[in-house]
Amino acid sequence: MDFTSDFTMTIGGKPVAGATTMSVLNPATEQVIAEAPDCSRAQLDEAVAAARAAFPAWKATPFEKRRDYLNAVSARIFENLEGLKRLLTLEQGKPIGEAEFEVGAAGMFVQGTASLRMPESVNEDSAERRSITRHVPIGVVGAISPWNFPVVLAFFKVGPALLAGNTVVLKPSPFTPLTTLKIGEMLRDVLPPGVLNIVSGGDALGPWMTSHPGIDKVSFTGSTQTGRKVMESASASLKRVTLELGGNDAAIVLPDVDVATLAPNLFWAAFANNGQICIASKRMYIHKDVYEPLRDAIVDYAKTVKVGDGAEQGTQIGPVQNKQQYRRVLDLIEDSKKQGHKFLLGGEAMDGPGYFVPVTILDNPPEDSRIVQEEQFGPVLPLLKVEDIDEAVAKANASEYGLGGSVWSGDPDKALAVGERLETGTVWINETQHLSPLAPFAGHKQSGVGVENGVDGLLEYTNVQTVVVRKA
Ligand code: NAD
C-alpha cells in the first residue's frame, strides 16, 4: 500500500475522491504533505445511506461473527504498523515511537473489545411470565475524533460500535485525516461494504453529521466547547450521544515519595505527546516538604529531553500539532509572563519552521491564574506548592473538569485514601494514563457525558430492550 498519496474516503466499501480537497500539513515543517478529500454534503448523504443500507445485515450477523470481524480489523492494522506509524508522525508530529505505540494501541483496543460479552439480564422468570432485558444496536453511529490521538481514539468508537451491531460513519479531524483514511482503505476487503464509512472534510462536516437525520447516535471526542455544540445539535432528533471532552487533571504528590524515581514519571505524566493528552497531568500539587527537591529534579530531567521533528531519531517531544493550538499555548505563556509568574524552564517560541514550543515549567503560579485553571493542552506545566493534602484535594476538585487525577506516594494505601476523594472519572495511584479496552473511561462534570471502553462503553452503542413473555 502507498502511504504517501491517493487519500480517498471509504463509502459503501469503495474509494471516493473529495468533491474538492484540503491540504494537510506536517506540523514539524509547515509543508503540505498531502491533499485529503473535502467531503461534500451530498457525499456525506451517500455515506450515511451506505451505512443505513448495511445496517440490517450487520445487525443480523451473529455476535460471535462480528467478533471475528473485529479480530480481522485488528490484524490488518498490525500488519500495516510500519507504514501507518510513519504517516501518523508525518501528519500529527509525534515521535515515531509514540506513533507506533498509538497504532499498536488501536489494534490492541479493537482486539480487547472483541473479548467483551453483551450482557442480558432476567428480570422475572415465574410461572406466569419471563421478562428479560437485552441490548440491541442503535443504527448508524456518527463517530468524530480529535487530532491528538487520531487513530486510537477513533477505534475506541469503531470497535464497540461495530461489535454491538451498528454501522459507522467516521470523521477524523481535518488536521489529521490521513492515517484514518488509509486504515479505511485497508479495511475495504475486511468488513462488508457500508459497515465502516470514513469521510474527511473541513469545519462544516462535523455539524452536518451531528444534525443528520440518518445518524442515530453521535460519539464525539474533542473539546468541551465543541462538545456542547454537538449535544445541542444532536438534541433536535434526540440522537444518543457519548461525549469525551477536555480535562485539567491534577497530580497530587505526598511528602513520602522518592524524588529521584518520581521526577521522570511526573515529567512524562505532563509532557508525553507534548502535553496534548486529555488525561495529561496539567497541574501538580506537591506537598511543601518535598516541593523544592522535586521541582528541581523535574527541571533537571526536563533539560535532558530532546524536542524536535518526530521523524528524526532521538526526538522525544515533537511540535504542537497545529497552528491554532500553537497560538493558544503561546498565549497562555504570554499571560503568565504578563502576570509575572516565575519560569523555571522554557517560555519562548522556538525558531521556525514548525510549531515548536520548548518544555515550559512554572514555579508555583497563583491558583487563580489561567495556566492553572484552563486546559493548556501543550508543553506548559505549573508546579504548585501545598501546605497539606486537604488543600491539594480541595484545589484539585475545584475545577469544572472531572476527567482523571493521580496521587503519588511511597504508601499506596495512603495514596488510595486520597485518590478516593477525587471527583473524576478515573483515579490513578502511582501511575497515570493507563487505559484498557476492559475498563470503563468516563468524564465527570464538564469532561463528558457517557462512557467509553469496557462493557459500559459497549452498552453506549445499544438501546435497552425488555422482552416480556406471558407463559401459557
Ligand atoms: P475539537 O473539539 O476542536 O475537535 C474535535 C473534532 O470535532 C474534530 O474532528 C473536529 O473537526 C470536530 N468538530 C469541530 N467542530 C464541530 C462541530 N461544531 N460539530 C461537530 N464536530 C465538530 O477538539 P480537538 O482540538 O481536536 O481536540 C482537543 C480536545 O479534545 C481537548 O480539549 C482534549 O482534552 C479533548 N480530548 C478528550 C479526550 C477524552 O477522551 N475525554 C481525548 C482526547 C482529547
Grid cell in block for residue 321: 500539532
pLDDT tens-digit map of 139-183:
999 999 999 999 999 999 999 999 999 999 999 999 999 999 999
Same domain, residue pair 72 and 192: yes
pLDDT of residue 432: 98
Do residue 191 and residue 320 come from a single domain?
no
Query: Are residue 258 and residue 169 in the same domain, yes or no?
Result: no
Of 446, 445, 441, 444, give the one whose Cα is nearest residue 458.
Answer: 441
Using CA atoms, how far apart are residues 170 and 61, in angstroms rounded to an integer? Answer: 21
Question: In terms of Cα–Cα distance, which of 149, 63, 78, 171 is closest to 113?
Answer: 63
* Ligand 1: residue whose CA is nearest its atom 4: 222
In whole angstroms, what is the distance from residue 229 CA to residue 205 CA?
13
Q: How far is the CA of 273 from the centre of ligand 1 (A)?
A: 16
Q: What is the DSSP string of 256-301?
A: T--HHHHHHHHHHHHHGGGG--TTSEEEEEEEHHHHHHHHHHHHHH
Please calculate the CA angle 391-393-396 and round it to the nearest 5 degrees: 105
Please name which of 307, 325, 318 lies closest in space to residue 99, comparing C-alpha atoms: 318
Q: Which amino acid is at 6?
A: D
**Chain-centre distance for alpha carbon 185:** 22
Q: Which domain holds residue 275?
A: 250-436
The verdict on residue 2 lying in a domain is no
Is ligand 1 within 6 A of the CB of residue 46? no
Q: Give the model's confidence band at 351: pLDDT under 50 very low, under 70 low, under 90 confident, else very high.
A: confident
Show Cβ contacts of residue 11 under 8 Å, excluding neighbours closer than 6 positions. Answer: 43, 46, 47, 50, 197, 199
Per-residue model confidence (pLDDT) at position 349: 83
Question: Would residue 277 count as lying in a domain?
Answer: yes
pLDDT for 413 equals 98
Count: domains in the chain: 2
430 lies in the same domain as 313: yes
Is there an atom of ligand 1 within 6 Å of 276 CB?
no
pLDDT at 472 over 90: no
CA distance 63 to 274: 39
Ligand 1 atom nearest to 222, measured from its CA: 30
Contact yes or no for 362/382 (Cβ under 8 A): yes
> Is any ligand 1 atom within 6 A of the Cβ of residue 443?
yes
Binning pLDDT at 50, 70 and 90, where does residue 226 land?
A: very high
**430 and 459 assigned to the same domain:** no
**221 pocket-lining for ligand 1 (C-beta < 6 Å):** yes
Per-residue pLDDT of 31-67, as tens digits, reads 999 999 999 999 999 999 999 999 999 999 999 999 9
Residues 164 and 76 in one domain: yes
Residues 162 and 273 in one domain: no
Residue type, 203: D
Catalytic residue, from 100, 244, 375, 452: name it.
244
Residues 261 and 211 placed together within one structural domain of the fold: no
Q: What CATH number has the domain bearing residue 396?
A: 3.40.309.10
180/310 same-domain check: no
* One domain for residues 82 and 199: yes
For ligand 1, pick from 170, 173, 283 the residue to mutate: most ligand atoms within 8 Å of CB: 173
Respond yes or no: is residue 39 known to be catalytic. no
List, in sequence order, every residue forming a beta bridge with 25; answer none if it has no partner. 32
Q: Among this protein's residues, is 391 annotated catalytic? A: no
Residue 136 forms beta bridges with which residues?
463
Q: Which atom of ligand 1 is nearest to the CA of 156?
A: 40
List pLDDT tens digits, range 436-464: 999 999 999 999 999 999 999 999 999 99
Q: What are the strands of the beta sheet with 167-171, ordered from one edge?
A: 14-16, 9-11, 196-198, 167-171, 140-144, 217-221, 240-244, 448-449
Residue with cell 465502516: 196
Q: How many CB atoms lie under 10 A from the CB of residue 423?
A: 15
Q: What is the pTM assigned to this prediction? A: 0.98
59 CB near ligand 1 (under 6 Å): no
DSSP H helical segments within 62-177, as ranges? 63-79, 81-92, 96-114, 150-163
